[in-house]
């Protein structure tokens, strides 16, 4: 066994496949998801205490209000889950003496509406969801400054024309 990784949002589109792949590679996976086992507090916004009790090598933080339309429909929930949830994950990681590494799943939405490709590196969020992701990235920077090993990944949809 390589160690233990906590995957937040473990029952989402990316979380399921990633957890299965990591398990095949020899990692022990603990999933935290609103739709998951009641053995853990499933709300990422309450993750600090849960994380502080675990012996983790790493955390992959995927949990989020993950659609622009859902963020616009419920901005308060979007900000709470995406920003406060990330804050709870970072605080939990900082409370563990082993200081697990932390990967955060952000979004291309942080760039806003760009006029050309490749995308400019300037963040220009234009909706509630994107602003919550920018703010959560800031929380991650704070975790890095406090001593965590962190990575922010911005997922993009890629389409390839097949001839």
Question: What is the radius of gyration, based on Cα positions, of the chain?
Answer: 16
* Strand arrangement, sheet containing 28-32: 28-32, 4-8, 58-61, 101-107, 150-155
Q: Report pLDDT for 119.
A: 64
Taking the model in full, what pTM does it have? 0.88
Each residue's pLDDT tens digit in the chain (163 positions)?
689 999 999 999 899 999 999 999 999 999 999 876 665 558 899 999 999 999 999 999 999 998 889 989 999 999 999 999 999 999 999 999 889 999 999 887 777 777 766 666 777 778 898 899 999 999 999 999 999 999 998 877 554 444 3
Question: Locate tokens 């709470």: which residue?
Answer: 80
Going along the chain from its start, the domains and CATH numbers come out as 4-155 (3.40.50.720)
User: pLDDT above 70 covers what percent of the chain?
Assistant: 87
What's the CA gap between 94 and 91, in Å, rounded? 5
Q: Report pLDDT for 39.
A: 58
Is residue 8 within 8 A of residue 62, CB to CB? The reply is: yes
Q: Report pLDDT for 7.
A: 96
Q: Report pLDDT for 163.
A: 39
Q: Report pLDDT for 162.
A: 43
């Amino acid at each position: 066994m390589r160690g233990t990784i906590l995957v937040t949002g473990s029952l989402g589109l990316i979380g399921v496949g990633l957890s299965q792949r990591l398990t095949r590679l020899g990692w022990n996976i603990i999933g935290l998801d609103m739709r998951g086992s009641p053995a853990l507090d499933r709300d990422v916004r309450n993750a600090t205490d849960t994380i502080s009790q675990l012996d983790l090598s790493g955390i992959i933080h995927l949990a989020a209000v993950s659609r622009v339309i859902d963020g616009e429909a419920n901005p308060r929930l979007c900000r709470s889950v995406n920003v406060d949830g990330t804050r709870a994950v970072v605080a939990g990681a900082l409370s563990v003496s082993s200081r697990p590494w932390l990967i955060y799943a952000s979004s291309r939405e942080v760039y806003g509406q760009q006029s050309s490709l490749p995308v400019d590196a300037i963040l220009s969020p234009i909706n509630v969801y994107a602003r919550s992701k920018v703010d959560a990235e800031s929380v991650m920077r704070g975790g890095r400054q406090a001593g965590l090993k962190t990575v922010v990944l911005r997922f993009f949809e890629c389409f390839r024309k097949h001839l």
